[in-house]
Amino acid sequence: MTEHQLPPLNALRAFEATARHLSVKNAADELSVTPGAVSQLVKTLELHLGVELFRRVNRGIFLTDAGQAYLPPVRNAFRQISDATRRVAVPPETGILTVSATPFFASAWLVPRLKSFQDAHPDIDLQVSSSHTLADFSRDGVDVAIRHGLGRYAGLRSQRVLTVEIVPVAAPPLVRSLGMPSAPVDLARWPRVNDTERKGWAMWFEAQGIDHAGPARGPSFDDSGLLLKAVLAGQGAGLLPAALVADDIAEGRLVQLSEVTWLEDFAYYLVYPEDSHNRPKVAAFRAWMRDAVGGNDGSDQAAARKASASPASHFQSAKTPTRLHAVQRQPR
């Protein structure tokens, strides 16, 4: 294959959507085609590349090593195209601000506070869209997004706003196979699912006073929704917001492997394209979020320790101290 033999664009779109959903059916729904058409497009791409991109196991699909390596540059390429499109065809400024947030964050933190934004900016009409996947700012018409992770998204600007409790979890079959860990260090020998930067587990082990936990092996994902799906599928232990997986733990779909931890950089971030930074309505929402989280103080953290069952207790301002250093001082 020469440098001019680029894969068909539709095949790349089918691959990216299938990899994001880990579902041919969901990818087909998003692309408004049949599942058979998506499967054929993915097969065309695999023949073009000469490698398999997915493993098909028990009516489910998972990315192969080649698929894991191919997904980030394909996703970044689509983002670059979206950014270039936004720069060339700037839409007219309207009074509607579309905010994409994860379902839990939207219901537990954002929606209860929206009235203060509406009171301060009556000329801006908010439209909230909930999704676990990264927003496509060009295709979806999203102005700003709020996502959980390390805040590093190619071609996008991000601002850390809230830190949350993180908990290691795994699917019950994996726990039955390996046995319940008796101490945090036991997880160093487990298969693990990683964030896209592969730094979350290193930070977690460090917070437990464990300096050398080995290399970050296993699959990685750039959004918590995909990471959760991989953990539920038994691909390894994963670090996820405690409140996000509370129902899965309560209903037996996941097992909590250790106590919760505050990890300062593993947080919720306000994300938007670079060229949107100075748009008036984006600037207004950014300033409002800064003021909203700035209103939290140390009392929120104390309340979190006393009322961990409350969804709101899993959040604290990115400006307030976290429990990371306190955890590091606990005896092993």
Amino acid identity of residue 187, one-letter, is L
Query: Has residue 308 got a pLDDT over 70?
Result: no
Contact 98, 141 (CB under 8 A): yes
Q: What is the pLDDT of residue 147?
A: 85
Chain segment 5-35, per-residue pLDDT in tens: 789 999 999 999 999 999 999 999 999 999 9
Return the closest-CA partner of residue 20 out of 227, 294, 261. Answer: 227
Query: Has residue 313 got a pLDDT over 60?
Result: no
Question: How far apart are the C-alpha atoms of 117 and 104, rounded to whole Å?
Answer: 19
Average pLDDT over residues 294-306: 38
Q: What is the pLDDT of residue 323?
A: 30
Query: Has residue 90 got a pLDDT over 60?
Result: no
156-170 and 255-256: which strand pairing?
Answer: antiparallel
Q: What is the pLDDT of residue 79?
A: 85
Average pLDDT over residues 277-304: 70
Return the closest-CA partner of residue 42 out of 72, 64, 73. Answer: 64
Buried b (16+ CB within 10 A) or exposed e, 29-42: ebbebeeebbbebb
Distances (CA, A) of 196 to 1, 103, 150, 193: 29, 21, 9, 10
Minimum mean pLDDT range among 13-27, 81-95, 209-223: 81-95
Among 202-206, 253-257, 327-331, which range has the highest average pLDDT?
253-257
Q: What is the pLDDT of residue 63?
A: 93
Question: How far apart are the C-alpha atoms of 330 and 209, rounded to whole Å?
Answer: 8
Strand ranges, E, within the chain: 54-57, 60-63, 96-101, 125-130, 144-149, 156-170, 194-195, 220-221, 238-241, 255-256, 261-273, 315-317
Query: Has residue 305 got a pLDDT over 50?
Result: no
Query: Has residue 180 got a pLDDT over 90?
Result: yes
For the four alpha carbons of 143, 104, 74 and 38, in that order, the dihedral sign comes to negative
Return the closest-CA partner of residue 105 out of 71, 122, 128, 86. Answer: 128
Query: Has residue 84 got a pLDDT over 60?
Result: yes
- How is residue 104 written in tokens? 């839990």
Distances (CA, A) of 86 to 13, 31, 83, 101: 19, 21, 5, 21
Query: Has residue 186 got a pLDDT over 50?
Result: yes
Query: Has residue 251 got a pLDDT over 90?
Result: yes
Q: What is the pLDDT of residue 266?
A: 75
The pLDDT > 70 percentage for the chain reads 82
The pLDDT > 90 percentage for the chain reads 42
Higher pLDDT, 185 or 265: 185
Question: How far apart are the C-alpha atoms of 260 and 30, rounded to whole Å?
Answer: 35
Element (H, E) at 204: helix 200-207
Confidence of residue 92 (pLDDT cuts 50, 70, 90): low
The 10 Å Cβ neighbour count of residue 212 is: 8
Distances (CA, A) of 303 to 98, 233, 306, 313: 32, 34, 5, 7
Question: How far apart are the C-alpha atoms of 6 and 9, rounded to whole Å?
Answer: 8
Query: Has residue 310 got a pLDDT over 60?
Result: no
Average pLDDT over residues 163-173: 90
Higher pLDDT, 216 or 24: 24
pTM: 0.52
Average pLDDT over residues 139-158: 83
Domains, the chain, in order of start with CATH, read 9-88 (1.10.10.10), 96-159+266-298 (3.40.190.10), 163-264 (3.40.190.10)
Minimum mean pLDDT range among 18-22, 145-149, 229-233, 262-266: 262-266
